Chain A
């Protein structure tokens, strides 16, 4: 029993799920569900279909290169069974998963980093310019809470300027 990856969306195919298609050139395509299978039959390219892992990796939405991915590679030359190695591997799988989750979260955070300030600025601008779509200008003048409060800023060197003007 082996947990394979779906050819279209790259999710894991568990035993008892999905369809396996073998092409005439002996290439095997595994699909996790009929959604992926039908998309494949429609000849859609997974790199252009937004919800697949292939698209997300290609467009930098998800992590592409990481050392944690090396652990999941398929190996063709086995080593003799050693109980200690097997025990350590099982323990390591858990920690590696945790580390990979943390790295993916960090990648996501880095991607979303400037988002809040951009959203804030856009909101301020929209409030200034488009408030007339929400409330009539007459009502705005009468109710001060709908406009941004005017902040008094003290400016230094006003006397120097006045002196010059007088002279």
Chain B
């Protein structure tokens, strides 16, 4: 189910939060509104952790993670690192990496099996990604843009990419990532997908500016509507009914 929310009147929810299958990180805002939205959806399922990274609130763009691990930039303070380690479950590996490109959320995008990385990342960082996140890493660009982490959001079931991605690129990425991909927009035509949308295998949160059309595209590509009983009955109708009288 996709939910529309705002962070302090800003629709770029992917900037202020990070959602994975094992945990959710949320920025510390002036009011509890943003945190409550996540809490309402996710409380007993996965831990929702309020944090800052390097004293900032733009945590979604600074860190990269999946259910197996979390990568943080070198600017993360020791106290924040310790807080994250204490709040996250033990099977999630929390690692701080020394990398020139410190906005890891813009440079790395991943699901639980595959990751796309900025072409200029260090070799050591690439190995660290493969090690900590347990994924296969591909250096790619999306629609000619090197910031792969901002222009694409994908989960284990589907992905949404920059609207100007050509069909060949889309096919290539689709085969690399092994998930169905769609080129679309979020937040009334914003091309920066990952900034406007944060998604995991069963939920998605997008900015309140997202139109109904965009929302339906998101729900269909990430397969978020399947939990509803109507869909199940539709799928199984052919096997349930023997013959029509």
Q: Name which of B88-96, B142-150, B169-177, B205-213 contacts chain A.
A: B88-96
**Contacting residues, chain A, for B81 (C-beta < 8 A):** 78
CB distance from B122 to the nearest CB of A (A): 12
In the docked arrangement, what's the CA distance between A76 and B96, Å?
5
Closest CB in chain A relative to B70 CB, distance in Å: 11
- Quick check: A2 and B96 within 8 Å, CB to CB? no
- Give the residue name and chain of the A residue nearest to B132 (CB): A77
The chain A residues found within 8 Å of chain B, CB to CB, are 1-2, 25-26, 76-81
With A2-B77, A2-B78 given, is the CB distance from A79 to B85 under 8 Å? yes
Asked whether B100 is an interface residue with its Cβ less than 8 Å from the other chain, the reply is yes
Chain A positions within 8 Å of B82 at CB level: 78, 81
- Known contacts A77-B95, A77-B96; 20 additional CB pairs below 8 A are A1-B79, A2-B78, A25-B100, A26-B100, A26-B101, A26-B102, A76-B95, A76-B97, A76-B98, A77-B93, A78-B78, A78-B85, A78-B94, A79-B85, A80-B85, A80-B86, A80-B90, A81-B82, A81-B85, A81-B86
Q: Considering the chains assembled together, what is the distance between the CA atoms of A60 and B77 in angstroms?
A: 34
Q: List 27 A-B contacts (CB under 8 A).
A: A1-B77, A1-B79, A2-B77, A2-B78, A25-B100, A26-B100, A26-B101, A26-B102, A76-B95, A76-B96, A76-B97, A76-B98, A77-B93, A77-B94, A77-B95, A78-B78, A78-B81, A78-B82, A78-B85, A78-B94, A79-B85, A80-B85, A80-B86, A80-B90, A81-B82, A81-B85, A81-B86
In the complex, A77 Cα to B96 Cα: how many Å?
A: 6
Q: Determine the distance from Cα of A106 to Cα of B151 in the docked complex, in whole angstroms.
A: 60
A2 and B86 CA atoms in complex are apart in Å by: 19
Could you tell me the distance in whole angstroms from the C-beta of A157 to the nearest C-beta in chain B?
A: 78
Q: Which residues of chain A are near B97, meaning CB under 8 Å?
A: 76
A1 CA to B79 CA in the complex, in Å? 8
Q: Which residues of A contact B95 (CB under 8 A)?
A: 76-77
Please indicate the chain B residues that have their CB under 8 angstroms from the CB of A25 in the complex.
100
